[in-house]
Amino acid sequence: MEECCPPACAGIPGTTGQMFVSLQILTYEPSYSNWCILVTGFTPLIMPLRYGMMLCMHTKQSLLSDLKNLGLDPKGTTLAHFSYKSLGDVEGGAQTVVDAMVEYMRDGLMVFPTHTWANVNDDQPYYSVNETEVCIGIIPELARKTPDGIRSAHPTHSVVAFGKEAEAFTNGDHLYTTPCPREGAWGKLLDRNATILLVGVGLNRDTFIHGVEEWLDIPNRINEKKRMLFIRLADGTLVPRPNSGHVGHVAENFPRVETILKERGILSEGKLGDAKVLYHKTQPLTRLLNELLAKNPDLFGER
C-alpha cells in the first residue's frame, strides 16, 4: 500500500492528546483519483487529495485545542467572524465549528454576528428573530438555529449569544435606530472588553470598528435617511422601527490600522484549523481608534 500522507498530517478523531497515524491509499479507481480512504480504528473516513497531498481533517477536539492555544478566556466574552472555507476540512462540517465555539465558551458568553442587512431593506422591510436568514455565511446561519442560542432583534445587525448572560446581552436590541448602537449588543461588547476573533477574514469584516466610528459620531458613516422596518420579536410581536444603514464601503479601509494595532500589541495572530486568525480585545482597540480618529476623523474614508 502506498503512503499518501506523512505521519504528522492528520489528528485522528476519537483519540486523546495529539495522536497521529500514517494515512494510506487502500483503493484506487481512475474515476475517484482525487480521493483516498483512511482507516482510524474501525471507522473509515474518506478525504480528498489536493495537489497530491492529503488534507488534514480537523475535529471538534482539535478546534478546542486551537482555541486554547489562542489564549482565549473561556469565562469571558467572545464574538467571532468566520470564513468557513478558510478552516479547511472539518469533521461534521460547519456545525462542528459552532459547537466547538459554544462548548469552549460554556462558562462565559459566545456571540456570533447574524447580520441581515442584505435581506432586510426597502424592498423587503421585515425582520423576524426566528426566521430571517443570515447574509454573512454558513457558520452564523447555523449558529442562529442552534439550541440554547438567543438571537437579538436588531433588524440589520443582530447577534446570537450563548451562555448564562445571553438573554441580558441581547435584550432590547430592537429599540435603537442605528446599526451598532452604544446601548445595544455591539456596545455591550465594549463594556465586557470582549475578544473579537476574525477567522480567515481581515479587519474589513470587523463590525466592531463600525461601532467605534458610530459612537464617536464620525461624519458620513450613518445614512441620514431612515427607512421604516418591521421587527417580528421571538414571541410574535410585530414592532415598527425607523432604521438607518451604513454609508458606502468604509469597512474596506479598516485594514489601514492593522500595522499600528500589531505594533501596539493590540492585534494578535494565531490559527484555528487551517485559518489565520486575527484577534483583539475591544477596550484597547477602542482607545487607540479614539486617539487616531481624533487626529483624523476621515481615517477610513476614501482617498
What pLDDT digit, counting tens, does each position of 121-152 carry?
999 999 999 999 999 999 999 999 999 999 99
pLDDT at 8: 35
Instruction: Round the average pLDDT of the chain to a whole number and report it.
Output: 87
CA distance 140 to 134: 7
pLDDT at 16: 38
99, 127 contact by CB (below 8 A): no
Q: What is the pLDDT of residues 75-87, one digit of tens each?
A: 999 999 999 999 9
* Residue 289: pLDDT over 50: yes
pLDDT at 156: 98
Q: What is the pLDDT of residues 20-78, one digit of tens each?
A: 333 443 333 333 323 333 434 434 444 444 444 445 799 999 999 999 999 999 999 99
Residue, of 211 and 249, whose pLDDT is higher: 211
What average pLDDT does the segment 94-103 reach?
A: 99
- Residue of 38, 96, 25 whose CA lies nearest to 67: 96
Q: What is the pTM of this model?
A: 0.83
Q: What is the pLDDT of residues 135-194, one digit of tens each?
A: 999 999 999 999 999 999 999 999 999 999 999 999 999 999 999 999 999 999 999 999
Task: Work out the end-to-end distance of the chain between its first and last CA atoms, rounded to an integer number of angstroms.
Answer: 59
pLDDT at 51: 41
Phi/psi-derived region of residue 42, left when phi > 0, alpha when psi is between -120 and 50, beta in every other case: alpha
- Residue of 129, 132, 141 whose CA lies nearest to 93: 141
12, 40 contact by CB (below 8 A): yes
* Residue 112: pLDDT over 70: yes
Instruction: Check residue 176 and report its DSSP letter.
Output: -
pLDDT at 129: 98
pLDDT at 55: 55
275, 87 contact by CB (below 8 A): yes
CA distance 144 to 95: 11
